[in-house]
Amino acid sequence: MALSDLLILGRDSDLGSERGVSCTGALPEASDPQLIERAKSARAKLGSRALILGHHYQRDEVIAFADITGDSFKLAQAAANNPDSEFVIFCGVHFMAESADILTAPHQKVILPDLAAGCSMADMATANQVAECWNALEKIGVASKTIPVTYMNSSAAIKSFTGENGGTICTSSNAMKAMSWAFEQGEKILFLPDQHLGRNTAVLSLGLSLEDCVLWNPWKPMGGLTKEEILAAKVFLWRGHCSVHGRFSLDNVNTVRKMIPGVNVLVHPECQHEVVSNADVVGSTEMIIRTIDGASPGSAWAIGTELNLVQRLAKAHPDKTIAFLDKTVCYCSTMNRIDLPHLVWAMESLVASHIVNQITVEPEIARYSKMALERMLAL
């Protein structure tokens, strides 16, 4: 494999040029050249009535109109900290907009520009599946000893289950603290819905063994486990994963080290265990940004996270060599459903006093979800 086969985005490269790859990941220009002007006009008319939140994985054309950028929890907090905004336009995915609705004031309306913007990981754990899992644990007699810890990347229904059963929410940056707290409350943890974050935190941060962690497959009776395995386990890892971070492999890590001498491998903890174990730096989306911001000029980095963010970091740091860890391009397909046409449509609709795509969480679900979120904040 030649160096040109890697997607190099930083120093000595032209962002968006081919550099020997068949696909650079460059997105096409907006089909309507007037969209940008329409977006500016609608944004100006909404003024302080609207707050636009943009997740780091969004397209540049959307980020350009975001008042605040961040990861899912930072943006939910931002929504809660701006009670004067009548409308919160959330440029992210469905579970993020749900969290914002849970944390904002009753008079605020959360808008998701495209309702098809979901999250494959969040969809891997349904309320019925989790209820069946909990019933199985109750029958074996371990549910009372088990504390749910649910990743922020989950539906409001799963967050509600977590709050109702004494658990807490976590983010990729505070998973260790959340799991440590859970072990103080009980003997076992049910970690939802990302198996990789749960496994990496349990083994690499808390010192548990891989054998202490068992995979719960919701499509099989008793999660595909025996009674003995359930009794012996310390962490039940839900069979879920991120479709973007889960694709990075140990082969990617080994290849980039051969191709770029002295490269630093920087990955998100949603990556597979063997990838995280062999990386130089592991951290949340915000931590990845801080790491590149603070890196020395001339340093080389191979980053394992969503491509929109990697491209944006490369563009902001032309003094560094930045490569995408995988040799093939991978955007978050659901996150990319939020584009400029949808954002313009949502804003222009609000200008015309027509509320579209409002995200609301049922009061009972919101109550227990907020309980779980508040437990996390209390940590």
- Does residue 27 lie within any of the structural domains? no
- 222 and 179 both lie in a single domain: yes
Pairing mode, if any, of strands 281-282 and 235-238?
A: unpaired
What is the model's pLDDT at position 74? Answer: 87
- 134 and 219 both lie in a single domain: yes
Cα(179)–Cα(185) distance, rounded to whole angstroms?
A: 10
Radius of gyration over every alpha carbon of the chain, rounded to an integer in angstroms: 21
What is the model's pLDDT at position 129? Answer: 97
As a whole number of angstroms, the longest Cα–Cα distance in the chain is 64
Last residue of a domain, one of 202, 220, 241: 241
- Does residue 30 lie within any of the structural domains? no
Q: How many domains does the chain have?
A: 3
DSSP helix/strand/coil, 70: strand
Residue 335 binned pLDDT confidence (cut-offs 50, 70, 90): confident
- 53 and 135 both lie in a single domain: no
- 256 and 278 both lie in a single domain: yes
* Span 111-136, average pLDDT: 94
Tell me the C-alpha to C-alpha distance, in Å, between residue 304 and each of 59, 203, 259: 17, 20, 16
pLDDT tops 90 at residue 29: no
Q: Report residue 132: phi and psi, to 5°.
A: -65, -40
What is the model's pLDDT at position 72? Answer: 82
- Does residue 168 lie within any of the structural domains? yes
Last residue of a domain, one of 241, 276, 299: 241
What is the model's pLDDT at position 15? Answer: 36
C-beta of residue 351 within 8 angstroms of C-beta of residue 39:
no
DSSP helix/strand/coil, 25: coil
Distance of CA 136 to the CA centre of its chain: 29
Please give the residue that has the higher pLDDT: either 79 or 17. Answer: 79
- Does residue 103 lie within any of the structural domains? yes
Sheet architecture: strand order including 321-324: 281-282, 264-267, 300-304, 321-324
Q: Give residue 62's domain range.
A: 35-119+336-361
Q: How many helices (H) and strands (E) does the chain have?
A: 15, 14
C-beta of residue 310 within 8 angstroms of C-beta of residue 324:
yes
- Does residue 182 lie within any of the structural domains? yes
Angle at alpha carbon of residue 207, lines to 204 and 209, rounded to 5° = 90
- Does residue 24 lie within any of the structural domains? no
What is the model's pLDDT at position 331? Answer: 73
- Does residue 284 lie within any of the structural domains? yes
DSSP helix/strand/coil, 78: helix
Q: How confident is the model over 240-274, as pLDDT tens digits?
A: 999 889 999 999 999 999 999 999 999 999 999 99
- 213 and 315 both lie in a single domain: no
What is the model's pLDDT at position 65? Answer: 96
Tokens of 113: 């520009």
- 208 and 147 both lie in a single domain: yes
* Span 179-188, average pLDDT: 98
**How many Cβ atoms sit within 10 Å of the Cβ of residue 141?**
11
- Does residue 283 lie within any of the structural domains? yes
Alpha helices in the chain (DSSP H): 35-46, 60-63, 72-80, 94-103, 127-140, 156-164, 175-185, 195-200, 227-232, 250-259, 273-277, 285-294, 307-316, 340-351, 363-378
Residue 18 binned pLDDT confidence (cut-offs 50, 70, 90): very low
Q: Report the mean per-residue pLDDT for the chain.
A: 90
Cα(239)–Cα(70) distance, rounded to whole angstroms?
A: 27
What is the model's pLDDT at position 2? Answer: 39
Sheet architecture: strand order including 50-55: 68-70, 50-55, 87-91, 109-111, 358-359
Q: What percent of the chain has pLDDT over 70?
A: 91
* Nearest Cα to Cα of residue 50 among 70, 68, 71, 30: 68
- 206 and 272 both lie in a single domain: no
CATH number at residue 342: 3.40.50.10800
* Span 129-153, average pLDDT: 97
Q: How confident is the model over 86-109, as pLDDT tens digits?
A: 999 999 999 999 999 999 999 999
What is the model's pLDDT at position 313? Answer: 95
pLDDT tops 70 at residue 234: yes
Q: How confident is the model over 47-75, as pLDDT tens digits?
A: 999 999 999 889 899 999 999 999 887 88
pLDDT tops 70 at residue 141: yes
What is the model's pLDDT at position 334? Answer: 73
- 205 and 155 both lie in a single domain: yes
- 229 and 136 both lie in a single domain: yes
Pairing mode, if any, of strands 146-151 and 168-170?
A: parallel
